[in-house]
Amino acid sequence: MMGTKDREGFLKQFSVYALLICIGFIYLYPILHMISSSLMTLDDLLDSSIKWLPSSFNLENFRQAAASMDFWRALWQSVVLAGVPTICNLLSCSVIGYGLARFDFPGKKIVMAVIILSFVLPSQITMIPTYVLYSNLGIQNTIWAFVLPALFGQGFNAPIFILIFWQFFRQIPKVLIEASRIDGAGYFKSFYKVALPSAAPAFITVALFSFVWYWNESYLTELYVHGIYGDSSWTTLVIQLDNFSDNYSSYQQTATNAATNLNESINMAGTLLSILPLMILYFVLQRHFVESIDRTGITGE
Amino acid sequence: MNMAETTKLTRKEKKALKERMKHLRSGKLEKRYARMGYLFMIPWFIGAGVFLAYPLISSFWYALNNIRITPLGRVFTFVGQGNFTQILIQDPDFLVQLVDYLTSTILSTPIIVVFALLIAMMLNMRIKGKGFFRLIFFLPVIIVSGPILKMLTAEGAGSISAIDVQSLTAAIGSVLPSMLAKPISDVFSNMITTLWYSGVQILIFLSGLQKIDKSMYEAAKIDGGSGWECFWKITLPNLKSMILLNTIYTIVFISSNSQNPIIVLIQNSMFSSTKEKGYGYASAMAWLYSVVVLLLVGLFALLLTTRKDQYEKQVKRNKKLKKKEARNLKRIERRNSRNAKRIEKQRAKGKITTHTTSRSDY
């Protein structure tokens, strides 16, 4: 039962499976709750005998939630607001990571210490002066508030990405770069002809994580891009979710057909809608997500 | 080697000295190559200067001031450490929240890291459906964001309804003092959200576990090692650096999470318009908070760093000694040659008579 040297015993395997299934269920519990309650109508909610399975497959909640959240416009803006800074992040972090990995310039240790320090510091400490700075530069309430820092290696969680690239480029054998220099490549050529093409896994990892983190970052988006006083045209799905109840009540007053009052199922429908794009992305690209950390070699050889 | 020594180094000894010094100093080409690194780092220097250093310094300046926003602009009145003392002594909210934050972080971080380690070990075994489970456990990383967590905890989906939180709280409250009991019961009641933070850690541990050499386990089993011993002596030492990485990541993530009440406090007083609060006050709070977070991270880092190899330390020390010795030799040689030249000049002028002894006398 407990197993011999090679074969895992039945009891051990069973207990591992049971544990994993239990914990997996605990993990998925909020999402299942979301899905089931967003499909319920008002009658189902009030009916106390129905807990998990709705009586009918009802998409009405989704329609109302989507209309009040201005879904398609918010979706498109979320994609842009997450995608463009991601590209800038990729560009700058790869260059900086390469510089840190390949060259041994004086003061390198200080630079690395500052990078790690900027990761540990909470972003609230610089929030106010950054707000003032952006207003002075005139980039507040536009997408440049995200793009400009990302271009210079100061995007969200940029230190992590710089470290990922650093670790990755350290693993390229030095003789490869030296061979390219013998063949006459300059510094930049040997960067983008030799090092970059072999860095595809790192690029995929950084792109995915950066996209997801930019998408999910609600407070800074609201502060810098949306503008606390709401006078810009940028918005994201997550911000719409934040103001869901306000949006819904204003939608309700202007709706032509009879919209139900805000209840739990509409809340859940709205939440589900806002995580749906990312979940689809995740399920399509799951292999890349899950194997990404392994491929970057941050855990060493 | 005393200062009165006037022997010149023979040619052979000079050559030997140069040979020894060569591999201690990098040549000119290497130095020029290293300086090219600055070219690649220019974006970071600009970025750090504009977006990191400047806000940091001005935030500190704000913290020392009392700022009021008038229709004419911002009015700064220098208060010195007035803001800080006001926070520490007069403000009731901040200190309470800080202590809350500290206890909950110190409690939840080990839970998260240990949990991630256990799950990673279980996923590493030979079971079917490994990919499916990996998918489930990593899902929260994709979904977790401020408003979504807010919605979920509001609807009560953040806790496991099967576990009776009330009785657990009562049971804990009767055993521990109330100051400890409250954070523990908080952690339990938010168990799901706490566990949801462990997605990235599971992956890091998993990839670290897969890199451990399997033959070590076989050798241990041949020598009669039990599973428990294998875990402590083989698995854990290999994972030490990853435990440190995960701990720091967890602390930083929890600290900057907008679910944190202390963050909410700071953010609310940022845009408050009452006289005592406002930008300066909020900056001071943010600085205090950052110092606390840094101390916490430093504490965990100290506890968990791997000690440097003794052998490596010796090698480093020897290298340093050699460098010093070479420098001393050079200095003495220069001094000798200077002295010798001076003596030659004075002898030629006929002012000093020296007795030149030949080497063969020794």
**DSSP result, A115-184:** HHHHHHS-GGGGHHHHHHHHHHHT-TTSTHHHHHHHHTT-STTHHHHHHHHHHHHHTS-HHHHHHHHHTT
Q: Do the chains contact at B256 and A122, CB–CB below 8 Å?
A: yes
Summarize pLDDT for B307-352 with one digit per residue, the tens.
667 788 888 889 999 999 999 999 999 999 999 999 899 888 877 6
Asked if residue B132 and residue B253 are part of one domain, the reply reads yes
Are the C-beta atoms of B265 and B94 separated by less than 8 Å? yes
Measured CA to CA, the distance from residue A267 to residue A42 in angstroms comes to 12
Whether B210 has its CB under 8 Å from any CB of chain A: the answer is yes
Asked if residue B318 and residue B252 are part of one domain, the reply reads no
> Residue A170 is part of a domain; what is its CATH number?
1.10.3720.10
Q: What is the mean pLDDT of chain B?
A: 77
Q: Closest-CA residue in chain A for B128? A: A17
Asked if residue A104 and residue A157 are part of one domain, the reply reads yes
Asked if residue B229 and residue B326 are part of one domain, the reply reads no
Q: What is the mean pLDDT of chain A?
A: 78
Asked if residue B223 and residue B161 are part of one domain, the reply reads yes
Q: Do the chains contact at A33 and B279, CB–CB below 8 Å?
A: no
Q: Looking at the domain assignment, is residue A282 inside a domain?
A: no
Counted domains in chain B: 2
Q: Looking at the domain assignment, is residue A37 inside a domain?
A: yes
What 3-state class would DSSP assign to B141? Answer: helix
Q: Do the chains contact at B44 and A274, CB–CB below 8 Å?
A: no
> Residue B247 is part of a domain; what is its CATH number?
1.10.3720.10
Q: Among A179-188, B160-169, B259-268, which stretch is predicted with the lowest mean pLDDT?
A: B160-169
Tokens of B338: 């200077």
Tokens of A187: 């510094």
Asked if residue B150 and residue B221 are part of one domain, the reply reads yes
Asked if residue B330 and residue B218 are part of one domain, the reply reads no
Q: Looking at the domain assignment, is residue B334 inside a domain?
A: yes
Tokens of A240: 């719409």
Asked if residue A236 and residue A214 are part of one domain, the reply reads yes
Are the C-beta atoms of B161 and A51 separated by less than 8 Å? no
The domain in which residue A170 lies consists of: 70-242
Asked if residue A180 and residue A59 are part of one domain, the reply reads no
CB-nearest to B138 from A23, A289, A300 is A289
Q: Looking at the domain assignment, is residue B331 inside a domain?
A: yes
Measured CA to CA, the distance from residue B117 to residue B204 in angstroms comes to 9
CB-nearest to A105 from B35, B125, B207 is B35
Asked if residue B328 and residue B238 are part of one domain, the reply reads no
pLDDT band at B2 (very low <50, low <70, confident <90, very high): very low
Asked if residue B114 and residue B165 are part of one domain, the reply reads yes
CB-nearest to A299 from B35, B140, B204 is B204
Q: Which of B241, B269, B297 is the C-terminal boundary of a domain?
A: B269
DSSP string of A59-120?
-HHHHHHHHHHTHHHHHHHHHHHHHHHHHHHHHHHHHHHHHHHH---TTHHHHHHHHHHHHH
Distance, first Cα to last Cα, chain B: 18
Asked if residue A21 and residue A139 are part of one domain, the reply reads no
pLDDT of residue B340: 92
Tokens of A26: 């605990």
Asked if residue B119 and residue B256 are part of one domain, the reply reads yes
Of A202, A146, A137, the residue nearest A169 (C-alpha): A202
Counted domains in chain A: 2
Asked if residue A88 and residue A175 are part of one domain, the reply reads yes
Q: Looking at the domain assignment, is residue B129 inside a domain?
A: yes
CB-nearest to A128 from B147, B160, B279 is B279
Tokens of B94: 């901040």
Q: Closest-CA residue in chain A for B250? A: A120
Q: Do the chains contact at A152 and B50, CB–CB below 8 Å?
A: yes
Whether B206 has its CB under 8 Å from any CB of chain A: the answer is yes
Count of other CB atoms within 10 angstroms of residue A203: 17
Asked if residue A28 and residue A91 are part of one domain, the reply reads no
Asked if residue A224 and residue A177 are part of one domain, the reply reads yes
Q: Which helix (H) or strand (E) segment is B67 a member of?
A: strand B65-70
- Of the two residues A235 and B60, the one the predictor is more confident about is B60
CB-nearest to B136 from A24, A154, A301 is A24
Whether A89 has its CB under 8 Å from any CB of chain B: the answer is no
Q: Which helix (H) or strand (E) segment is A265 a member of?
A: helix A264-284
For chain B, the helix, strand and coil percentages under 3-state DSSP, each to the nearest 5: 75, 5, 20
Summarize pLDDT for B210-258 with one digit per residue, the tens.
888 888 888 888 888 887 888 888 888 888 888 888 898 888 888 877 6
| Burial of residue B154, with CB atoms counted within 10 A of its CB: 0-12 exposed, 13-18 middle, 19 or more buried | exposed
Measured CA to CA, the distance from residue A52 to residue A33 in angstroms comes to 7
pLDDT band at B4 (very low <50, low <70, confident <90, very high): very low
Residue range B291-311: average pLDDT?
82
A70 torsion bin: left (phi>0), alpha (psi -120 to 50), beta (else)? left
* pLDDT winner (highest mean) among A88-92, B14-18, B75-79, B358-362: A88-92
Q: Looking at the domain assignment, is residue B61 inside a domain?
A: no
Q: Looking at the domain assignment, is residue B106 inside a domain?
A: yes
The residues, any chain, with a CB within 8 Å of residue A129's CB and separated by 6 or more, are: B54, B55, B56, B58, B59, B62
pLDDT of residue B1: 46
Asked if residue A171 and residue A32 are part of one domain, the reply reads no
Q: Looking at the domain assignment, is residue A260 inside a domain?
A: no
Q: Which of B237, B254, B269 is the C-terminal boundary of a domain?
A: B269
> Would you tell me which residues 302-361 of chain B have a C-beta closer than 8 angstroms to some C-beta of chain A?
none
The domain in which residue B206 lies consists of: 90-269
pLDDT of residue A230: 53
Give, in order, the Cα–Cα distances in Å from A141 to each of A69, A109, A155, A229, B215.
Answer: 20, 36, 16, 10, 58
Asked if residue A51 and residue A122 are part of one domain, the reply reads no
Residue range B181-199: average pLDDT?
70
Asked if residue A199 and residue A83 are part of one domain, the reply reads yes
pLDDT of residue B75: 66
Q: Do the chains contact at B206 and A30, CB–CB below 8 Å?
A: no
Asked if residue B316 and residue B264 are part of one domain, the reply reads no
Measured CA to CA, the distance from residue B283 to residue B287 in angstroms comes to 6
Asked if residue B318 and residue B242 are part of one domain, the reply reads no
pLDDT of residue B200: 84
DSSP string of A170-187?
HTS-HHHHHHHHHTT--H
> Would you tell me which residues 150-209 of chain A have a C-beta closer than 8 angstroms to some C-beta of chain B?
151-154, 162, 187, 191
Measured CA to CA, the distance from residue A294 to residue A282 in angstroms comes to 17
Q: Do the chains contact at B133 and A30, CB–CB below 8 Å?
A: no
Q: Looking at the domain assignment, is residue B32 inside a domain?
A: no
Q: Do the chains contact at B50 and A294, CB–CB below 8 Å?
A: no
Q: Looking at the domain assignment, is residue A196 inside a domain?
A: yes
CA dihedral A161, A166, A171, A175 (to 10 degrees): 140
pLDDT of residue B285: 80
Asked if residue A91 and residue A57 are part of one domain, the reply reads no
Q: Looking at the domain assignment, is residue B184 inside a domain?
A: yes
Q: Looking at the domain assignment, is residue B46 inside a domain?
A: no
Q: Closest-CA residue in chain B for A150? A: B47
Measured CA to CA, the distance from residue A116 to residue A118 in angstroms comes to 5
CA distance B175 to chain A (A): 28
Q: Closest-CA residue in chain B for A265? A: B155
Q: Looking at the domain assignment, is residue A291 inside a domain?
A: no
pLDDT at B154 over 80: no
Whether B60 has its CB under 8 Å from any CB of chain A: the answer is no
> How many degrees, rounded to 5, is the angle at CA B230 between CA B226 and CA B233?
130
CB-nearest to A122 from B56, B155, B255 is B255
ipTM: 0.82
Encoded amino acid at B204, one letter? I
Q: Which of B245, B269, B293 is the C-terminal boundary of a domain?
A: B269
Asked if residue A176 and residue A237 are part of one domain, the reply reads yes
